[in-house]
Amino acid sequence: MSFVGSTLSLAVAESAAHHRNSAHEPGHSGLTEDKHFLRVRRDSIQPSDEEIALKTHTTDYGGETVDIPEPLPRDIDRGWAWVVLVAAFVSNLIAVGITRAVGVHYVTFKEEFRDSASLTSMLGAVMNSVSGLSGPLASVIANQLSCRVSVMAGGVIAAAGCIISAYATSIQYLLVTYGFLIGLGIGLVYTPTMVIAGQYFEYRRSLALGVATAGLSFGQFILPPILQLLTDYYTWRGSMFVISGFCLQFCVCGALMRPPIIPERPQKRALTQEEDLVKCQMSLRFLDLKVLKNAGFLLLVGAMFLRSMGLAIVNVHVNAYAVKQGGATEFQASTLVSIWGASSLFSCLLTGAAANDPKVVDPLVMLFVSLGYSALFAFSTPLLIGSYITQVLFAAGFGVYITCFVVLMAPMIVRLMDVASLSSAYGYAMLLDGIGFFIAPPVAGYLYDITQDYQYSFYIAGGCLLLGSIILLFIPLAARDVFRSRKNMSVG
């Protein structure tokens, strides 16, 4: 018997049994009790397994309107959704490990090719910006083909970029292979990974995205020291071949990201004009410019743009700052990134769990606090860079707060718009993210070339993060209807 048939038969059998039992009890109407049994709460924050397994559609029953249970898509919040979540976790783990390799290789590249700090910083800027700028392209591929195709294609491109980079003879050569190709591959992986994780979960979406984002933090925790050891043992050229093997694991993860399977309903019916229009709009979703008319979303991505600028400066220059002016060894500097990742891992899981229940704390408040404290740590870097112990304190504190934004981005997009707009909106967000990563590191590197001091670069990073937190305060004004309805639901 099919899944749909089994579910419907079970619901009808239990309903009939309940009806027979209640019919013998005084003051009870069988129809009323059936309606009570068949009606499923949709607004529950923490639904039971039965509520997750069933949704309802409305039909006429004995002259009265009742809700008949029907199955959710087979793997939403259960089943294969957990396999997809593991694949998303591993993909993010590898992706962030590769992007953080820029900080590990920065000092090596600068010494071998003897170029300026601003030019060498362009490697990280190009890689991170291209990975963000390719977000809309990844959305198009995901919408027109599948998330699986985008992720697997990204793995092949990133692996090719690593292999070609091993034969580099100049920074300009690396800008194309190390920066552009690897960045493009990671961009085709990251956006579909977060999108499909959001599509496979409904009731537990914030928690699932927190787990997926935890892959970023875990990768940042374990991979930088490994990459540093590989560089020390095989030289940076040999390490690129090993990194290419990591990139090919994207293909394995992508193969597991099959599109959600939606079973047929027990009762087929003709599409209404409204549903037909929705399907037509969905077919053109990859051209969706409507999301850019949402003022709340524009403020959100504006804050993300400023966050990206601040994060890019810290990400690219913190290792060099610790080595050149903080007295740390190169291996100690690489462990700072790992400590950053470990604290981010804790932050991802805690943020995802808290955001899963908006009654605990508003996600927008969490975003504001996270950027504000990130700015405070960036401003304090010149005071904390003097010893390895204080460097560890900076890495741990900055990691806790800077990662919250990534966890809460997708839930905030869904809150401001809807889940159908998630793919396109996330692509545009990654576009702004990439621009921020492109602009900031070369500017910070240029300041170092002039002043021979990294503290001014970190002041700029703190200013960007602080301004981003201030912009978030205007979202409730720009999206009054959304926040007013959410407030009414909480009161009710």
Tell me: do 54 and 126 sit in the same domain.
Answer: no
Residue 267 domain-assigned? no
Residue 38 domain-assigned? yes
Tell me: do 113 and 7 sit in the same domain.
Answer: no
Residue 96 domain-assigned? yes
* Paired tokens of 81: 């959704």
pLDDT in tens, 157-212: 999 999 999 898 888 898 999 889 999 999 898 878 887 877 777 777 777 777 78
pLDDT at 376: 92
Tell me: do 62 and 99 sit in the same domain.
Answer: no
Domain containing residue 42: 3-71
Residue 62: phi, psi to the nearest 5?
A: 65, 35
Tell me: do 229 and 185 sit in the same domain.
Answer: yes
pLDDT in tens, 245-294: 999 999 998 888 887 764 444 444 444 444 444 443 444 444 467 777 88
pLDDT at 157: 94
Tell me: do 172 and 59 sit in the same domain.
Answer: no
- Residues 466 and 301: beta-carbon distance below 8 Å: no
Residue 309 is part of a domain; what is its CATH number? 1.20.1250.20
Residue 437: phi, psi to the nearest 5?
A: -70, -25
Residue 55 domain-assigned? yes
- Residues 167 and 241: beta-carbon distance below 8 Å: no
Cα–Cα distance for residue pair 411/209, rounded to 1 Å: 8
Tell me: do 46 and 103 sit in the same domain.
Answer: no
- Residues 45 and 354: beta-carbon distance below 8 Å: no
pLDDT at 34: 40
Last residue of a domain, one of 71, 95, 130: 71
- Residues 396 and 339: beta-carbon distance below 8 Å: yes
Tell me: do 199 and 329 sit in the same domain.
Answer: yes
What total number of domains does the chain contain? 2
Tell me: do 58 and 193 sit in the same domain.
Answer: no
Q: What's the DSSP call for residue 276?
A: H
Which of the residues in the chain have pLDDT under 50? Answer: 1-63, 65-72, 262-287, 488-492
pLDDT at 491: 42
- Strand residues in 19-175 grouped as ranges (E): 54-61, 64-71
Model pTM above 0.75: no
Residue 271 domain-assigned? no
15-26 in b/e form (b: 16+ CB < 10 A) is beebbeebeeee
- Residues 209 and 197: beta-carbon distance below 8 Å: yes
Tell me: do 421 and 463 sit in the same domain.
Answer: yes
pLDDT at 51: 46
Cα–Cα distance for residue pair 149/142, rounded to 1 Å: 7
Tell me: do 129 and 7 sit in the same domain.
Answer: no
Q: Residue 249: which residues within 8 A CB-CB, separation 6 or more?
A: 90, 94, 155
- Residues 314 and 380: beta-carbon distance below 8 Å: no
Tell me: do 54 and 98 sit in the same domain.
Answer: no
Tell me: do 308 and 165 sit in the same domain.
Answer: yes
Residue with structure tokens 């037509």?
Answer: 280
pLDDT at 379: 92
Residue 272 domain-assigned? no
